[in-house]
Amino acid sequence: MTDLALRVSAAYRDAFGEPPALVSVGPGRANIIGEHTDYHGGFVLPFAVDRAVVAALGPASGATFDLRSLDFEGSFAGSLPTAESPLPIVKDWTGYAAGILNELALQGKRPGGVRAVIAGDVPIGSGMSSSAAFEVALLQGLDALFELGLTRWQLVTTAQACENRWFGVRSGLMDQFASVFGVEGSALFLDNASRAWRAVPLGADLDWVVIDSGVARRLAASGYNTRRAEGEAALARLVPAGLARERLSDVAPADLERATALLTPVEARRTRHVVEENQRVLAAIGALAAGRHDWLGRLLDASHASLRDLYEVSVPQLDVLVELLCGLPGALGARLMGAGFGGSVIAVGSPGFAARVPTIEAAYTARTGHRFVPHPARPARGAYIAR
C-alpha cells in the first residue's frame, strides 16, 4: 500500500480499535484537452493522476454510519438514509458523503452499517477533481465491503449523480470516469455520447504539470451552469434546423458556419468552441501517436485561446500564467484546465520542464498578486481496492 493508504489504515485502527476491512483508493485526474465538451456529448482526453483520496472502511452495527476525515479533522455520523428520507446536504466534505449514501438509497442498494476514515493528497481546489476522487473512493469502498454489485460505469454515474442531484453542479462524466477507468501511463479518450473509450499511451518523454493559480473558483457559484444552459439554448435552435440531433457535439465541422448563423452571438461562440475543441481532441491523439509533441503543445495553446475568447471561462491571472509557462525552456503548451473562472492550468513540456516551473513564480506574483502551486502529475492507474 502507499504511504497515504498506510496512514489512513493506521488512523482507522486508532479510531475504532481494529484494522479496516479494506482500503479504497480513488485517484484525482488531469485533463489534457477537451474542456467543457463532456456535458455536450463531446470528446475528452483525461488521465488519472498519482494523487488520490483513500478511504479505510469497516462494518458497524446497526444501520448507522460513522465517517471521519483526517483532512478536515471532522466526523459525520448518523443513521443511513432511505429513498424517502435522504440525508441533508451541507456544502462541504460531509455533503459528498451524504450524496453518495443518498444515491445508493435511491438505487435500492442500501449498505449496512459502516465506519470509515478518509484522507487524500489530491490538492483541494486545484482542478484535479478532489471531489470526484472522494466520491469514487467512498463509493467503491462501500460497493466492495457490502457486495453491492456496482459495475465500473455504475460507479461513475452514481458518483456523478452526487454532484448533479445533491450539489446542483451540472457536470459531465469525465472526472469520475477518469478516476475509475484510469490506465497507468496512458490518457483516456472518451466519447461522452456513446461512452466508447480507449487508452492512449503518453510515453515517458513528457513532463505534465498542473499549476494551481491561487485564484479560487466555485463551480456551482460560477458561470459553469450558465455556460451549460447557453449551449442547451443553442442546441434548441439547431435541432429544428437539422444541424444537431441530441447534443451540441452533433454539429459537424462542415456545418459550423451554417449553425452559428442561426444563433445569437453568445450561442455562436459557445458552439464554435465545442465543435472545434472536439477536433482538437482528435488531433491531440494523432499528435501523440506520431510523437509530434510540438503539435500537441500548439493544440493546448489553441484550446486555451478558445476557452478564453469563445467560451469565456478564463480570468486574467490564468492568461498570465499560461503566457509565462509557454515562455519557459522546454515548454510545449499550456491551457486552463477545468471549469475555469480561476483554478488551474495544465502545462506540458520536455523532460526537465516541471523542475523549471517554480522559476516563474516571482514574475507571476508581481503581475497578478497571487502565488501559484505546481503539482507534477504522472498518468496513473484508476480506482482500486487495497486490502
Asked whether the beta carbons of 325 and 357 are under 8 A apart, the reply is yes
- CA-to-CA separations, 32 to 11, 144, 363, in angstroms, rounded: 35, 31, 25
CB atoms within 10 A of CB 22: 17
One-letter amino acid at 330 equals G
Q: Is the dihedral of CA 30, 348, 337, 257 positive or negative?
A: negative
Q: 197 CB contacts (<8 Å, ≥6 apart)?
A: 177, 181, 188, 189, 190, 191
CA distance 76 to 86: 15
Residues 6+ apart with CB under 8 A from 236: none
Q: Which of 164, 140, 322 is nearest to 228 (CA)?
A: 164
Q: 57 to each of 109, 114, 187, how far by Cα in Å? A: 17, 7, 30
In angstroms, the CA 239 to CA 49 distance is: 38
Q: In the annotation, is 175 catalytic? A: yes
Q: Pick the catalytic residue: 38, 121, 143, 175?
A: 175
Report d(CA 82, CA 91) in Å as an integer: 20
Q: Which residues pair with 187 in a beta bridge?
A: 200
Pair 357, 209: CB distance under 8 Å:
yes
Query: Which residues are designated catalytic?
Result: 175
